[in-house]
Amino acid sequence: MQSEQPDTGRVNPDVIPRPEHNVSRAGISRESLKVLYRLKEAGYQAFMVGGAVRDLLLGREPKDIDVVTDARPEQVKQLFRNSRLIGRRFRLAHVHFGREYIEVATFRANADEIEDADPDHQLDHGGRIIRDNVYGTIDEDVWRRDFTANALYYNIADFSIWDYCGGVQDVRDGILRLIGDPETRYREDPVRMLRAVRFAAKLGFRLDPATEEPVHRLASLIDQVPPARLFEEVLKLFHSGHAAASFDLLQHFGLFKVLFPESDRVLSEEQAGDFRMLIQQALNNTDTRIADGLPVTPTFLFAVLLWGPIRELAEAKLANGMSEFAALNEAGDEVIAGQQACVSIPRRFFIPMREMLAMQPRFQNRQGKRAMRLLGHPRFRAAYDFMLLRAQAGEVDPELAQWWTEIQTKNPEQQGKESGSGEDRPAGATRTRRRRRRPRKAATPSNDA
Ligand code: ATP
Ligand code: MG
């Protein structure tokens, strides 16, 4: 097997004919087949590539299907009325079908073969690719892909698989092997370390020793990656159904520390291990929710991952005489501000996140109208779920958690009696109406906390 890029000349791929592999058109969406066939009929090369070929070889349903061709983006655009050119790091065509689209990329040339002077392809001082937009042929395209398992091409012309670097065998063996020299490839794009973790977690693959060796050493390069890109990668790691495994592997490789430095510090210092327990429990729940087709949100994920440092900082502020509510709010702001330097968290997620964390002390109070009001808070459900987690991690009295669970199953009259509030309505939708009729002063934070 050869997974190194050759120094000279062309390499012919291993062409695995249809009868010798299990990738069937039945596993490829109608729309993707349409795109592939239309390209082929127009005289272009057309391949399905990347994760889709890998997943189909493994008998898994691919998440999405990537198409690659020798047609230039403008030519793809001419061929498909329903297409748009997009230019993120690279220029690509999106062929739209209703709300879905198929991504069609043009073969790109490999990094090392481009002259340094070429303005379309440049490395920064650390060897990181900062621009990469040079078209090429399939046998150039293959070497810039990350893992051998991701560098397989399914040819729509005869349904064969083109394998330049032993990817089929690696898929069969469950091995992630970077193409080329691992250290160079990680330096070019440090996100590849996170991708290694993601695929290992998702597929249960192990890293080839040479691919694994540099990760610990180079983990800190992640901090050169734009925080917005890291936000996307973090979601892929934690919101794809294998969050618990991703967390373990990130920790194992010293990558969690780079992504969430403060959280990692609390994890390494804590005696009782309740923050770790909270994370593990939450990530297991996330994986179960995704398996059950239930929605998940970054608001909750980041609340979980940042709770340790926020709680710690809030406790310090509390000791200085601040109210619980104010302490949690301020601590939330400060920890989030520090975190943004590494993984950016969009406002629409961190505002509700801080709010649901600052609500935590209010669960201590099961008396009267305040308890009823908490039930009607728009963020009640998220805050309650978070409180349950804290109870599971040993941070909250299980009996208190039970009380809040039970109160929700009761009718409004019973809820009023249980809390001794005398309020005979639930605080939810009803409260909004009452409020409009008789505006009330907002509860002061320190009282409410
Ligand atoms: P998934 O199942 O998560 O979609 P995937 O392998 O398809 O996995 P994508 O992020 O969709 O991953 O990328 C598609 C393909 O593009 C990859 O299989 C790989 O060949 C190539 N690729 C993507 N990101 C990189 C990268 N950072 N470096 C090198 N090649 C990459
Ligand atoms: Mg993909």
170 near 148, Cβ under 8 Å?
Answer: yes
Q: Is residue 432 part of a domain?
A: no
Q: How confident is the model at residue 436 (pLDDT cuts 50, 70, 90)?
A: very low
Nearest Cα to 372, choosing from 338, 404, 397?
A: 404
Both 304 and 352 in a single domain?
yes
pLDDT tens sequence across 388-418: 999 999 999 999 999 999 998 877 777 777 7
Both 209 and 306 in a single domain?
no
pLDDT > 50? residue 295: yes
CATH code of 305's domain: 1.10.3090.10
Q: Is residue 438 part of a domain?
A: no
Question: To 10 degrees, the CA torsion angle through 248, 253, 258, 259?
Answer: -30
Both 191 and 296 in a single domain?
no
Both 198 and 331 in a single domain?
no
Last residue of a domain, one of 200, 224, 248: 224
Distance 235 CA to ligand 2 centre (A): 15
| Catalytic sites, residue numbers | 64, 66, 146
Which atom of ligand 1 is nearest to 191's Cα?
A: 27
> What is the average pLDDT across 406-431?
63
CA distance 383 to 385: 5
Q: Is residue 206 part of a domain?
A: yes
Both 305 and 210 in a single domain?
no
Distance 269 CA to ligand 1 centre (A): 36
169 Cβ contact list (under 8 Å, min separation 6): 1
Distance 120 CA to ligand 1 centre (A): 21
Q: Is residue 229 part of a domain?
A: no
Q: Phi and psi (nearest 5°) for 34?
A: -60, -45
Q: How confident is the model at residue 421 (pLDDT cuts 50, 70, 90)?
A: low
Q: Is residue 132 part of a domain?
A: yes
pLDDT tens sequence across 98-128: 989 999 999 998 654 444 444 445 556 566 5
Which atom of ligand 1 is nearest to 66's Cα?
A: 14
Both 191 and 268 in a single domain?
no
CA distance 29 to 33: 6
CA distance 240 to 269: 29
21 near 161, Cβ under 8 Å?
Answer: yes
Q: Which ligand is nearest to the CA of 63?
A: 1
Domains: count for the chain: 2
pLDDT > 60? residue 427: no
Q: Is residue 254 part of a domain?
A: no
Q: How far is CA 100 from the centre of its chain?
A: 20
The full length of the chain comes to 449
Distance 141 CA to ligand 2 centre (A): 16
The two three-digit tokens of residue 327, written as one number: 């302490």
Q: Is residue 6 part of a domain?
A: no
CA distance 247 to 266: 15
Both 291 and 380 in a single domain?
yes
Both 99 and 173 in a single domain?
yes
Which atom of ligand 1 is nearest to 150's Cα?
A: 18
Both 189 and 303 in a single domain?
no
Q: Whose CA is nearest to atom 12 of ligand 1?
A: 51
Q: Phi and psi (nearest 5°) for 48?
A: -90, 140
Q: What angle do CA 402, 386, 239 make, to 5 degrees?
A: 130
The two three-digit tokens of residue 256, written as one number: 């969690």
Tell me the CA distances in angstroms from 54 to 67, 89, 180, 350, 400, one per residue in order: 14, 24, 19, 36, 48
pLDDT > 90? residue 244: yes
At what angle are helices 380-392 and 298-319 packed, to 10 degrees? 70
- Strands 175-176, 206-207: parallel, antiparallel or unpaired by DSSP? parallel
Of the listed ranges 35-39, 191-195, 268-272, the one predicted with least confidence: 268-272
Q: Whose CA is nearest to atom 28 of ligand 1?
A: 146
Most confident of 9-18, 130-139, 251-260: 251-260
Q: Whose CA is nearest to atom 30 of ligand 1?
A: 145
300 near 386, Cβ under 8 Å?
Answer: yes
Both 217 and 267 in a single domain?
no
Mutate to test the pocket of ligand 1, among 150, 195, 240 (most ligand atoms within 8 A of CB): 150
Residues lining ligand 1, Cβ inside 6 A: 50-51, 63-64, 66, 145-146, 150-151, 189, 191-192
Q: What's the 3-state SS for the chain?
A: CCCCCCCCCCCCCEEECHHHCCCCHHHCCHHHHHHHHHHHHCCCCEEEECHHHHHHHCCCCCCCCEEEECCCHHHHHHHCCCEEEEECCCEEEEEEECCEEEEEEECECCHHHCCCCCCCEEECCCCCEEEECCECCHHHHHHHCCEHHHCEEEECCCCCEEECCCHHHHHHHCEECECCCHHHHHHHCCHHHHHHHHHHHHHCCEECHHHHHHHHHHHHHHHHCCHHHHHHHHHHHHCCCCHHHHHHHHHHCCCHHHHCHHHHHHHHHCCCCHHHHHHHHHHHHHHHHHHCCCCCCHHHHHHHHHHHHHHHHHHHHHHCCCCHHHHHHHHHHHHHHHHHCCCCCCHHHHHHHHHHHHCHHHHHCCCHHHHHHHHCCCCHHHHHHHHHHHHHCCCCCHHHHHHHHHHCCCCHHHHHHHHCCCCCCCCCHHHHHHHHHCCCCCCCHHHHC
Both 203 and 273 in a single domain?
no
250 near 256, Cβ under 8 Å?
Answer: yes
Nearest Cα to 222, choosing from 329, 341, 390, 400?
A: 341
Residue 381, domain extent: 261-419
pLDDT tens sequence across 347-370: 999 999 999 999 999 999 888 788
Of the listed ranges 30-34, 264-268, 333-337, 440-444, the one predicted with least confidence: 440-444
Last residue of a domain, one of 224, 247, 271: 224
Residue 415 has a pLDDT of 75
Q: Whose CA is nearest to atom 22 of ligand 1?
A: 145
CATH code of 210's domain: 3.30.460.10
Q: What is the pTM of this model?
A: 0.86
pLDDT > 80? residue 6: no
112 near 142, Cβ under 8 Å?
Answer: no
Both 216 and 279 in a single domain?
no
Integer Rg of the chain from CA: 26
Q: Is residue 7 part of a domain?
A: no
Last residue of a domain, one of 161, 195, 224: 224
The two three-digit tokens of residue 398, written as one number: 């299980």
